Every structure is written in structure tokens, then in C-alpha cells.
């Protein structure tokens, strides 16, 4: 049985911290699952990290389901969370329920994630057996409304974000991602809620921490956000490997006998 919403609640009560990572494809999901990462998020960040879009806004339900299926097929122990893309849940409760259901029914996900204070929809999904991971603070689908990727919850905004967190917990969310907020607010929300908080740029006091896998592996071409820590430099390693292959081909040293049939 994969990690469940009950496990996460138990970990929170026991003060056990946990990691979450984004995964977008089958081999990465297998590696993360085997490494014991308990929660894999098929993030809509697939849009700007894998599919070459500028923002997360263009990614579609069909694209998200395609990646969610690949991740689900590569996972045995981890909980798989499908990230609902822009406009798949904002138009009406009915459309939100139908699209969320598709992540479980067609994508093999165990839960969905929604950005923003979608209190009514969270209640509707939770009461229909669709577990909801909420996501507040810096919500990338609202990049244009926020005027860019800006830290949220400074000064007077803090009380509003705390209120949103409490309302989402009350509505039935089983966990909540806190993105791009001051660490003091991350600590206050974490201390207030019974459900686990999962931080990304929300300081060290959250119950869990999430990173985008391409940031963690150092696959990105540009600058990394302040909160992202590259634990490897795979971009350089991949470049070295393919250049070594190209040199061997040009020199006629690949394939050698070992890699040829008689
Ligand atoms: O899509 C994503 O990668 C996310 C994380 C940043 C939480 O929503």
C-alpha cells in the first residue's frame, strides 16, 4: 500500500518531517520511489521545466494526465499527487470535480493539488473521496495577477494567508503547500494547523519540504530561484557524456568490437 493521507497526518502529529519532489516521467519516478521519497507531485511545473513553456499557464489536462500516468506506472510506495492545471478547476465546481476525478481515474494519482483559496471546491472534492493538497502563498498560476513571482504574505497580507490556510484545513484539505512566504509565517501556519504544511521557499519550520526535481538535479538552463538548492549538476554531466559520444563517433572508436555483433 503506498503512503496515504493518514500516514502524513500521523507524521505531523509525531513531528516527523518528510520530503516531496516533483516527478514528470517514468524513470525519474522509479528512482525517486526506490530512494524512498514518500510523495511525488506531478507538478504543472512540467510546463516550464520539461515542455518548454514560459509559465505554467498553457499546460493542458491531457498533458498533465499523460505525465501523471507515466509517474504512476513508475511508483510502488510513494503517494502520487496530480497538479490540476490552470482553468481545469476555476470555472465551476462541477468542472473541477470532473477534472479532479480524471487524475484518479485515468492518471492513477492518489490525490490532487489546487492553487489558491479554493475552499468550496476543496470541500466538494474531499466529501467525494478525492483527497486535496492545497497550495497558497506564491501561486504560479496567478503570476500575472501577482505582477510576477513575488514573495507573498509580508506585512498585512500575513493574516489573510493564515486565514486561507485555516479555511482550507476546515474544508478537508489533507495537506497544504506553502510557497514563497516569509519563514515566520511558515512557522505560524505550521504551528496552527493539524494537517502537514509542505514548504517551498517558506522556511525551515514546515512539516515537509518540496523541490522541483530539475532544480534539485541541476538540469536548468537559467538562474535558480533563491529557495532552490541544486544537489547535483546533471546539465554539465549530460553535456560531457554526449560530447564524449560525439568525439568517439567522429574518431571511429565507437562502436568498438565489444559493442558490435559478429
Ligand atoms: O508545480 C509544481 O512544481 C508545484 C510545486 C512548486 C509545489 O506546484
Q: What is the tens place of the pLDDT at every residue in 224-247?
A: 899 999 999 999 999 999 999 999
Position 222 scores a pLDDT of 79
In whole angstroms, give the CA distance from residue 232 to residue 217: 5
Q: Which atom of ligand 1 is nearest to the CA of 83?
A: 1
100 and 151 share a domain? yes
45 lines ligand 1 (CB under 6 A): yes
14 and 141 share a domain? yes
- Catalytic: which of 115, 123, 179, 188? 179
For 32-42, b/e burial (b = at least 16 CB within 10 A) is: bbeeebbbbbb
Task: Say how many domains are in the chain.
Answer: 2
Residue ID of nearest Cα to ligand 1 atom 5:
43
Answer whether 0.95 is exceeded by the pTM. Answer: yes
Q: What is the tens place of the pLDDT at every residue in 167-205?
A: 999 999 999 999 999 999 999 999 999 999 999 999 999
Report the sign of the C-alpha dihedral through residues 75, 78, 79, 84, in that order.
negative
Q: Which domain holds residue 245?
A: 233-262
Q: Ligand 1: distance of its center to the CA of 83 in Å?
A: 8
Q: Which residue has the cell 495577477?
A: 145
166 and 250 share a domain? no
Task: Indicate which CATH number applies to the domain containing 39.
Answer: 3.20.20.60
Arithmetic mean of pLDDT, 125-135:
98
Position 221 scores a pLDDT of 85
85 and 168 share a domain? yes
Q: What is the tens place of the pLDDT at every residue in 39-93?
A: 999 999 999 999 999 999 999 999 999 999 999 999 999 999 999 999 999 999 9
What average pLDDT does the chain have? Answer: 97
Q: Ligand 1: distance of its center to the CA of 105 in Å?
A: 22
43 lines ligand 1 (CB under 6 A): yes
227 and 241 share a domain? no
Q: Residue 116: which pLDDT band, with cuts at 50, 70 and 90?
A: very high
Amino acid at each position: 500500500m503506498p503512503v496515504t493521507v493518514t500516514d502524513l497526518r500521523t507524521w505531523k502529529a509525531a513531528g516527523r518531517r518528510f520530503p516531496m519532489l516533483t516527478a514528470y516521467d517514468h524513470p525519474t519516478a522509479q528512482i525517486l520511489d526506490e530512494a524512498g521519497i514518500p510523495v511525488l507531485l506531478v507538478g504543472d511545473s512540467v510546463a516550464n521545466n520539461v515542455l518548454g513553456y514560459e509559465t505554467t499557464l498553457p499546460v493542458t489536462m491531457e498533458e498533465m494526465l499523460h505525465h501523471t500516468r507515466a509517474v504512476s506506472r513508475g511508483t510502488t510506495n510513494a503517494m502520487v499527487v496530480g497538479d490540476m492545471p490552470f482553468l481545469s478547476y476555476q470555472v465551476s465546481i462541477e468542472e473541477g470535480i470532473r477534472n479532479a476525478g480524471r487524475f484518479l481515474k485515468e492518471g492513477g494519482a492518489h490525490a490532487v493539488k489546487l492553487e489558491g483559496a479554493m475552499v468550496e471546491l476543496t470541500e466538494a472534492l474531499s466529501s467525494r473521496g478525492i483527497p486535496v493538497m492545497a497550495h497558497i502563498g506564491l501561486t504560479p498560476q496567478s503570476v500575472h495577477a501577482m505582477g510576477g513571482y513575488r514573495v507573498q504574505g509580508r506585512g498585512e497580507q500575513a493574516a489573510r494567508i493564515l486565514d486561507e490556510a485555516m479555511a482550507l484545513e476546515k474544508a478537508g484539505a489533507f495537506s497544504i503547500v506553502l510557497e514563497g512566504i516569509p519563514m515566520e509565517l511558515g512557522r505560524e501556519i505550521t504551528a496552527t494547523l493539524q494537517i502537514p504544511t509542505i514548504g517551498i521557499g517558506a522556511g525551515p519550520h514546515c512539516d515537509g519540504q518540496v523541490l522541483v526535481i530539475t532544480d534539485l538535479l541541476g538540469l536548468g538552463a537559467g538562474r535558480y530561484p533563491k529557495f532552490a538548492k541544486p544537489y547535483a549538476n546533471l546539465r554539465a554531466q549530460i553535456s560531457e557524456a554526449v560530447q564524449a559520444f560525439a568525439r568517439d563517433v567522429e574518431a571511429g572508436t565507437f562502436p568498438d568490437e565489444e559493442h558490435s555483433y559478429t
